[in-house]
């Protein structure tokens, strides 16, 4: 069982225990009444409320494809791949803070950005390079230059694209962990 499945199973146990406790007593305890609300329940609403900008300079939402549920070897994609010519500027989709610059085998050069409320994380991957002067802790404004489209990591060298993902953060605010949210509709509405 992966950690996400374990969390869901634990929440269902708490909900079931709360239902039994409510039937046995006239007033539920504070711990039981608060438990059924998932930390991730409001993720889609949070994302829909953010006024995102399209992340690739000079491109529009025309032709944007929803690749969130596409299969990948051993897992679901949980991101959008946005094709663009190598070196095309990548822009911050929202205000917030750059929390991590990271290089990994699958993502190559990556950026993790938190939204201003620190409840959403935006993930930009396969970058060719970072924008000059970019550093962890930097406050970003919607539309700031953060990097350039590339093929680092496991991206095919002949297919430059931005791998863009959004995660609903848990209370620990761990940049590498959260509930994946499909950003397709939010980007379709991007201004």
Paired tokens of 176: 């590498």
Q: Does 58 lie in the same domain as 28?
A: no
Q: Does 115 lie in the same domain as 22?
A: no
Distance, CA of 189 to CA of 102 (rounded, Å): 29
Does the structure show a pLDDT above 60 at 10?
Answer: no
Confidence of residue 68 (pLDDT cuts 50, 70, 90): low
Paired tokens of 101: 């610059």
Q: Does 98 lie in the same domain as 68?
A: yes
Question: Measuring CA to CA, which residue among 130, 111, 112, 110 is closest to residue 121?
Answer: 112
Q: Does 112 lie in the same domain as 20?
A: no
Q: Does 70 lie in the same domain as 16?
A: no
3-state SS assignment for residue 102: strand
Question: Measuring CA to CA, which residue among 175, 160, 157, 150 is closest to residue 97?
Answer: 175
Contact 169, 120 (CB under 8 A): yes
Distance, CA of 107 to CA of 125 (rounded, Å): 5
Contact 108, 128 (CB under 8 A): no
Q: Does 49 lie in the same domain as 30?
A: no
For residues 96 and 11, the model is more confident at: 96
Q: What is the predicted pLDDT for the residue at 27?
A: 34
Q: What is the predicted pLDDT for the residue at 60?
A: 79
Share of the chain above pLDDT 70, in %: 73
User: What residues make up the domain containing 90?
Assistant: 43-188
Does the structure show a pLDDT above 80 at 187?
Answer: yes
Q: What is the mean pLDDT of the chain?
A: 79
pTM confidence score: 0.75
Q: What integer is the mean pLDDT of 109-138? A: 96
Distance, CA of 92 to CA of 97 (rounded, Å): 10
Q: Does 93 lie in the same domain as 163?
A: yes
Q: What is the predicted pLDDT for the residue at 134?
A: 97
Confidence of residue 74 (pLDDT cuts 50, 70, 90): low
Question: Measuring CA to CA, which residue among 72, 154, 151 is closest to residue 105?
Answer: 154
Distance, CA of 66 to CA of 91 (rounded, Å): 20
3-state SS assignment for residue 9: helix
Does the structure show a pLDDT above 70 at 29?
Answer: no
Report the number of distinct structural domains present in the chain. 2
3-state SS assignment for residue 50: coil
Q: CA angle, 87 as apex, 187 and 64 as ends, to 5°?
A: 25
């Amino acid at each position: 069982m992966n950690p996400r499945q374990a969390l869901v199973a634990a929440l269902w146990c708490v909900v079931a225990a709360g239902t039994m406790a409510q039937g046995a007593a006239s007033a539920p305890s504070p711990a039981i009444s608060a438990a059924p609300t998932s930390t991730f329940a409001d993720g889609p609403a949070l994302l829909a409320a953010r006024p995102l900008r399209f992340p690739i300079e000079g491109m529009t939402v025309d032709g944007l494809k929803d690749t969130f549920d596409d299969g990948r070897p051993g897992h679901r994609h949980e991101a959008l791949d946005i094709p663009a010519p190598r070196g095309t500027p990548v822009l911050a989709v929202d205000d917030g803070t750059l929390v991590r610059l990271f290089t990994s085998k699958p993502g190559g050069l990556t950026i993790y950005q938190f939204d201003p409320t620190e409840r959403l994380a935006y993930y930009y991957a396969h970058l060719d390079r970072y924008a000059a002067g970019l550093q962890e802790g930097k406050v970003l404004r919607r539309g700031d230059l953060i990097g350039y489209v590339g093929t680092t990591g496991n991206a095919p060298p002949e297919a430059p694209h931005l791998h863009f993902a959004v995660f609903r953060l848990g209370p620990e605010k761990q940049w590498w962990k959260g509930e994946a949210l499909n950003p397709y509709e939010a980007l379709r509405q991007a201004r």
